[in-house]
Amino acid sequence: MGKTLAEKILSLKSHGEAEAGDVVIADVDLAFVQDTTGPLTIRQFKESGFGALAKPQQTIIFLDHAAPSPAQQLSNDHILLRRFAEETGCRIYEVGEGICHQLVAENFANPGDIIVGADSHTVTGGALGAFATGMGSSDVAVALALGKTWFRVPESFLIDLKGVFTRGVYAKDLILYLISQIGADGANYKALEFGGEALAQMTMSQRLTIANMAVEAGAKVGLFPGDKITQDFLMEYGRGDNYKPLYPDTAANYEKVIPVNLDQLEPMLSLPHAVDNVRPVTRVKGVKIQQAFIGTCTNGRLEDLAVAAEILKGKKRHPGTRLLIAPASRQVLIRAIEKGYIQSLIEAGAAILPPGCAACLGLHQGVLGDGEVCLSTANRNFKGRMGNPEAMIYLASPATAAASAIRGEITDPREFT
């Protein structure tokens, strides 16, 4: 019988035949924590009594969520994490290096790898064909100790993509549309597997945006095949040797097939306070926004900043709207400076934040006030997510955020592209 991508990877890594519904123990190629889940993970690791990491060089701590730290308690958590790195020899990425998921994509994820992270958006690595999934602190602590973990092999939904994005429509619009179709729990415990003729034109940046939000439909992973685009990306980042082609079998068994024609998509928006509360931008136009935030593991990459810079170049943000930009990594920031995007954004009135999670999770760098509205390129708009339960968060593409920052209200980006 044919295998899905999820079944293929879990078969390989569990050294057996893994079929949807089975429970397997699989090797972990990379395990990581970030600064808000890391301290609990470390305490649990120490409690487990193992002492040494199974794979120090494949264990990473990222200081990205509170970066730089806004509070003494978080600074002390950072000290704990740095000490752990010194004691165990694991890798650590300091404040300012960027968001864990972007750094995993740039430096570590390969087709066929298993990656576990103490962060729900670990699914981002699925863009490179890695079985990458978020777990809690206990599970990651044990993965650090054993170098393996257990999985129930998920059933897969095939998302069959055809066509091309039309003007003003991007990967974010596709994944928001898809989440609205599946529902916030519609893919609970499942794998989303992306396929179809549209993939040949779909950049790694777009794939990362899509895989990143698989968890917002409840999915365990959001998997792309390992193809020419994966190979080119790995070569660009100096690890072309790690490439191997990875495709599902033609006779793979999918629980569901969801066809999407990119030609027919339009700019989409997720409304407060649920990610699957999605409408076309044309139906929400005119809502006043006090803050536009472009960045995060969903949409803080070079292509995203390019789109925003193109729209904002030579224009100004609306006086009533703050514009915050946080590149997803140091490398993204350097390239965006080289290409002149940062100059255009700053001239348009943007505040550039250090590479990291920034305003996304309500700790710092853009906490909203009572009754304020933010249009964000992030992946979650739950009540209170950006630090204030009295605020409203809309989610959209960088193009929609840039256009809306100019007008001071939710705006169709096609008016500017």
Partner 1 sequence: MPDLVLKGKAIKLGDNISTDDIIPGRFAHLRSNLPELARHILEDTAPEFASRVKSGDFLVAGKNLGLGSSREHAPVVIKMSGVGAILAKSAARIFFRNAINQGLPVLLCDTDKISDGDELEINLTGGMIVNLTSGFTLSCSKMPPIMSAILKEGGLIPYIQKHRDFKL
**Interface of this chain with partner 1, residues 364 to 393, rule: CB under 8 A:** 367, 380, 382-385, 387-389
Do residues 67 and 186 touch, judged by C-beta distance below 8 A? no
Residue nearer to partner 1 on the CB measure, 143 or 302? 143
Query: Residues touching partner 1: how many (CB under 8 A)?
Result: 59
Contact call for residue 95 and partner 1 (CB under 8 A):
no
**Residue 346: burial class (beta carbons within 10 Å; 0-12, 13-18, 19+):** middle
Q: What does each C-alpha distance from 273 to 324, 385, 389 come to in angstroms? A: 21, 9, 10
The residue among 12 and 25 lying less far from partner 1, judged by its C-beta, is 25
Q: What's the token pair of residue 325? A: 């930009």
Q: Which is nearer to partner 1, 193 or 412 (CB)?
A: 193
- Give the C-alpha separation, 296 to 302, whole Å: 12
Structure tokens at 252: 């793979």
Q: Smallest distance from the beta carbon of 149 to partner 1, in angstroms? A: 8
DSSP letter for 409, please.
B
Q: Does 55 bind partner 1 (CB under 8 A)?
A: no
Closest distance to partner 1 from the beta carbon of 309 (Å): 29
Applying CB under 8 A, the span of 38-46, 155-163, 173-181, 327-335 interacting with partner 1 comes to 38-46
In the shown chain, the binding pattern of residues 101 to 140 toward partner 1, with x for contact by CB under 8 A and - for none, equals: ----------------xxxx-x-----------xxxxxx-
By CB under 8 A, what part of segment 330-349 binds partner 1? none
152-191 residues in contact with partner 1 (CB under 8 A) are 152, 184-185, 188-189
Closer to partner 1 by Cβ: residue 193 or 409:
193
Among residues 63, 90, 130, 142, the one that binds partner 1 under rule CB under 8 A = 142
CA pair distance 345, 327, nearest whole angstrom: 12
Stretch 262-291 residues interacting with partner 1 (CB under 8 A): 274
H or E stretch including 403? helix 398-407
**Residue 328, both tokens:** 């997803």
Between 220 and 301, CB nearer to partner 1: 220
Provide, rounded to whole angstroms, the least separation between the CB of residue 381 and partner 1. Answer: 10
Q: Extract the runs of DSSP E, i.e. beta strands, from 197-275.
A: 221-223, 256-261, 268-270
Q: Does 78 bind partner 1 (CB under 8 A)?
A: no
Q: How far is the CB of 153 from partner 1 (least distance, A)?
A: 11
What phi, psi does 24 have (nearest 5°)?
-130, 160
Nearer to partner 1, 188 or 343 (CB): 188
The binder of partner 1 chosen from 172, 207, 220, 330 (CB under 8 A)? 220
Centroid of chain to Cα 302 = 14
User: Which residue lies nearer to partner 1 by CB, 334 or 367?
Assistant: 367
CA 361 to chain centre: 13
Cis, peptide link before residue 273, omega less than 30° from 0: yes
Half-sphere exposure of 84 (CA within 13 A, CB side): 33
Scanning the structure block, which residue is given the tokens 């415990």? 189
Q: Which two tokens stand for residue 133?
A: 């999934």
| DSSP class per residue in 130-194 | -EEEE--HHHHHHHHHHSEEEEEPPPEEEEEEES-PPTT--HHHHHHHHHHHH-TTTTTTPEEEE
| Shortest spacing between CB 219 and partner 1, in angstroms | 8
| 141 binds partner 1, rule: CB under 8 A | yes
Q: Which residues sit at the interface with partner 1, rule CB under 8 A?
A: 23-25, 36-37, 39-40, 44, 47-49, 65-66, 70-74, 76-77, 80, 117-120, 122, 134-139, 141-142, 145-146, 148-150, 152, 184-185, 188-189, 218, 220, 274, 361-363, 367, 380, 382-385, 387-389
